[in-house]
Chains A and B, each alone.
Chain A
Amino acid sequence: MKLRRSMLFVPGSNTSMVCNAFVYRPDTVMFDLEDSVAIEEKDSARLMVYHALQHFTYDDMETAVRVNPLHSIYGLLDLEAVIRAGVDIIRLPKTDTVEDVLQMQEVIEKIEFKIGTDKKTKLLAAIESAQGVVNAVSIASCSDRLMGIALGAEDFVRDLHTQRTKAGSELMAARAQILLAARAAKIHAFDSVFSDVRDKEGFIREAKYIKDLGFDGKSLINPNQISVLHKIFAPSKNDVEWALDVIEASTNAKEKGLGVVSIDGKMVDAPVIARAQWTLELAKASGMLGGDE
């Protein structure tokens, strides 16, 4: 499974960020054409993102684009542009129902067919309303293109008639629901942005919290948060030791033609091996195994 700890949010109208975001090495860069772009700049930002996606600086980085809703006059134009440019993931602006996903999927399929690409653009649904949270389970499993679901907290708390707090109790139900829905459907779960860029401690606290909850990653608005988040997601030395042991044991068992793998007298089955591989991926990405951070 691909690592998706950090998803850096880059306003399509902020040229300096569009051009330089790759420097910070987020796992996924997410260009925004929706809320952060003023109406008068929609066309220009779309072209900017269209070209950025094709630039070599983003060749080896997973790219996502948050497009405008299909019911707006920009949604279809955004899709036409970024699918042509080879974007990896389309982030749906606001997903309330399964139909929202299926409708987007249909449009994307048409465009892919029209331009004759083999690439199967993935989808990421943003859950930003009470309705979306309630439907999260059915949304998470409605399309094989869906790689994950993400919480969009700012709009969600408005819909819930509350506001964001440092403690985060207002998001408790939504986070739990989204996480469970994603895990049940075997797709990724992403937490919302932490918007107070000055509150470093608050960011660390929240990042640790959502990691412990089980989220795969978090949307970020400040590039400086990336390395902090990656450190938090790094596995402990003990975890890495355990994972290395598991992989070694399973490799040895395979070579010997043994059907059953065990360590310290405990059975090691396929999910445990998968978990160990995942831990090593994380360790590698965190620079603990000589890979790059």
Chain B
Amino acid sequence: MNGSTAPQVAADAPEAGASIRVSLLLFASVAEAAGERRREVRAPSGSTARGVFEQLAAHVPALAGRADHVSFARNQQFVPPDTVLQDGDELAVIPPVSGGA
């Protein structure tokens, strides 16, 4: 996933190409940094889970550098960061977990 991280998601405004709608769910430290728990976003078609998160992080200084330290769940299933999202997907950003004792 690293190495050739081409800018899959450049800016908020996709060019002429089609875009997808994604429901972003944020938790714990990430939600606190972003100041919200849920956000509906648009991203260019072909965007990855990581790409959509980076698009958000670009607007939230407190999230800079977090992309390597979170996991992703698409529609409540863990997926690799380079998973390409579909229109209407729900993307949960999962910071390192600390349940239990």
> Are A and B physically bound partners?
no
Which residues of A are interface residues toward B (Cβ below 8 A)?
A: none
